[in-house]
Amino acid sequence: MAGGGGGGGPLLVLDDVSKRFGGLLAVSHLTLTVRRGELRCLIGPNGAGKSTVFKLIMGFERPSGGAITFDGTSIDRWPTWRRARQGLSIKMQIPGIYPELSVAANMRVAAQYHVRGGQMEEAIGRLLARVGLAGLGHVLTKNLSHGEQQWLEIGMALSVNPKLLLLDEPTAGMGPGETGATAQLIESLNADGVTILVIEHDMTFVRQIARTVTVMHLGQVFAEGTIAEIEAHPGVTDIYLGKT
C-alpha cells in the first residue's frame, strides 16, 4: 500500500493500558491505535512515558492494566520473541547492536528467522545498501561511527520484514546531515508500505516525516493530529515549556 495518510485498518491497538513502577504511574490509561501504512510520531516532554509504551508493545514490560492487540490478536501474554516473529520490530533508544560482531553478522543474527539461508547474503547486501552501509559488512560493529550504528540498527530492525517498526529516537546524537538522511530513509520505508511508529525529539525531523503526531504527557495521550494542528495547539506548547 502506498505510504501516507494511513487509511488502513487498525494494526496495533492499545486499549486503556497502564504501567506502574512502584509509586510511579508511567503510563496511565493510554488508548492508542496505529493503522496499517501509517507513519506516526510519538512526541512529548521527558518522562511522558513514550519509551515505556514501546517496552509494553515489545513485551519487555507487562502492563499493570489494559489490553494490547496486534494484527487482530491479543498479545498480552506473549513473550517478546513471539511478538517479534509476529511482525513487531524495534530500534531501541540504547543501541541494540552487537559491538563484538561484524556488521554482516549483526544483520544475519537479526534476519535469520525471516530470510532463507540461501538468500541471506543477497538480503544482507540489499539491506545494508538500503541503510547506506553498502560494503561495510566485514567491519567490526564497534568501529562504526555513531550514525552508522544507528542505521545498522534500523537495517536490523528492518530485516525481519516487520509489519510494525518501532523507532525510539532514531536520530539521537546525529548531526544535521545524518538526521536528514535518516528522515529520508524512514519516509522511503513507509512509502514501501512499512507501518512505522517513531519517538523523536527533533522537531525539524518530525516536521519532515510525520503524517500524524501523537503527543504524550504524564503517561496519557495529550493531543493527536497533523503536525500543523499540533503546532497550533496552545496546550502542546505549554507542556513543552513546563506550564502544565
CB-nearer residue toward other proteins: 39 or 104: 104
C-alpha cell belonging to residue 199: 519517538
Nearest distance in Å: CB 129, other proteins: 14
Nearest distance in Å: CB 2, other proteins: 28
CB-nearer residue toward other proteins: 3 or 133: 133
Nearest distance in Å: CB 47, other proteins: 4
CB-nearer residue toward other proteins: 34 or 115: 115
Nearest distance in Å: CB 239, other proteins: 10
What is the C-alpha to C-alpha distance for residues 112 and 120, in angstroms, rounded to an integer? 8
Q: 24 phi and psi, to 5 degrees? A: -105, 125
Long-range pairs for 183-189: beta carbons < 8 A, 24 or more residues apart:
183/208, 183/209, 185/130, 185/131, 185/132, 185/151, 185/154, 186/39, 187/3, 187/39, 189/158, 189/165
CB-nearer residue toward other proteins: 10 or 137: 137
In the block, residue with C-alpha cell 525481519 = 160
